[in-house]
Structure 1
């Protein structure tokens, strides 16, 4: 059983696996009272005045204590983060990391104006939005009751938050950030006069993407027997 779980865990693509593991470790640390949510939440004053820079990152790793909210966010993060990494960004890990950095950066900017404490839910909503726009013909249903196509999924989640009495500000920020990314990456470059404004930094390419295989062209005198081996005869 343990071996099977380990194999399933290792089958999760690396970026999704790393993020989910960090979220799980953070939640476990809070439950064991090794840290408290007060040490993790997003606070611009403490970040810029007290230099508690870790809060920029930990605010994305804590979805709350054990309960429905944690389960809901972890499932959605696992599902849509994994599908994006395995499909839209297959073989482009650096581009996927850049998308997450883009989403995280603009979520932090928004959080400075609307007083958000934890930002992971907004990032999850962004992932859901980007996936839904890139898979417009996928048919879905909500708890087997409400059928709809994928582009409506983020708005269904907004409605679900309203039903639960939760604030929809976090969902709307995730949708807004996701739409900006989708527009700049998928829409604007394909418009007349458009161009690609988002470019993955080279440092991310070096860190996350394997080096491209280079084909060495041999001169005729270097080829065995001097022949064009494998060429048309």
Structure 2
């Protein structure tokens, strides 16, 4: 019964969140038994001169050895990726995949200049940033110590990284890419004279999008899908 319940819960995770989270967990498991991080990290010379193209992907999948930092990142990745996919990207899987590709592309470009070898944590911060800007009135509680509204969450996470002695370059990169996406997708198109610059390629829509749901459907607020207490959210007035 426990296996069936776990399997059912796993299958209920929306497809992009399920695929990315699973890939991250399996990559970490593989590092424990089969491969080393040296075969995964972002190295432009090995990518472009020795055609180790897989590093463009694997550097987003490894979050370090199993421990507090790994679990912390996995919980935030799963949680905010799922809330985005079930919230503002509901029924728009192709647009969600395009955000992944756009964010990953920008981070790869920036990664050439900031000497980062793994970009998964920055990608998580990007997801958190986009969710937080689309849910500005959600009140957050971080470890039961801090209360603030959602747009401050990425900065709180950066401060937490600083307290743990980690480099904040990773967090700043995630915030920067998240803001670029949010501005181009949510802000600039509605400005006077603004246009929609980011357009999901039709091939992605053909692959990922299903027939439209009820045209009168309005997405529910992007509440948290799980019971984690790290970065807990509650809507104002809720």
TM over 0.5: yes
How far does residue 211 in structure 1 lie from its aligned partner after superposition? 4.3
Cα deviation, 1:23-74, whole Å, max 9, x if unaligned, reads 1111000011x11000000000000000000000000000000101110110
Partner of 1:52: 52
Residue 12 of structure 1 corresponds to which residue in structure 2? 13
1:39 and 2:39 are equivalent in the alignment: yes
Could you tell me which runs of 5 or more consecutive residues in structure 2 were left unpaired when the two chains were aligned.
Answer: 214-238
Structure exhibiting the larger radius of gyration computed from Cα positions? 1
Paired residues for 1:103-122 under 5 Å: 103-122=103-122
**1:210 shift after superposition:** 1.7
Q: What per-residue deviation string (whole Å, max 9, x for no partner) do you get for residues 180-224 of structure 1? A: 0000000000100001000000010000002459xxxxxxxxxxx
Could you say which residue in structure 1 is the equivalent of 2:24?
23
Which residue of the partner structure matches residue 182 of structure 2?
182
Q: CA RMSD in A?
A: 0.9
1:110-135 deviations in Å (ceiling 9; x for gaps)? 11101100010010000000000000
Alignment partners' CA distance in 2, 1:139 and 1:211: 34
Counterparts of 1:90 and 1:124, CA distance in 2: 19
**TM-score, normalization by structure 1:** 0.90
Matched, 1:132 2:132: yes
Corresponding residue for residue 149 of structure 1: 149
- Counterpart for residue 95 of structure 1: 95
Q: Aligned partners of 2:6 and 2:104: how far apart in 1?
A: 30
Residue aligning to 1:82: 82
**Where does structure 1 differ by over 4 angstroms across 4 or more consecutive aligned residues?**
none
1:160 aligns with 2:157: no
The TM-score with structure 2 as length reference comes to 0.88
Counterparts in 2 of 1:190 and 1:28: CA distance versus 1, 3 Å: same
The higher relative CO (CA closer than 8 Å, separation ≥ 6) is in: 2
Task: State the alpha-carbon separation in 2 of the partners of residues 21 and 163 from structure 1.
Answer: 29
**Is contact 2:91–2:212 with CA below 8 Å preserved after alignment?**
no
In structure 2, distance between residues paired with 1:190 and 1:85: 23
CA distance in 1, matches of 2:30, 2:140: 35
1:217 corresponds to which residue?
A: none
Aligned residues: 212
Secondary structure of 2:140 counterpart: strand
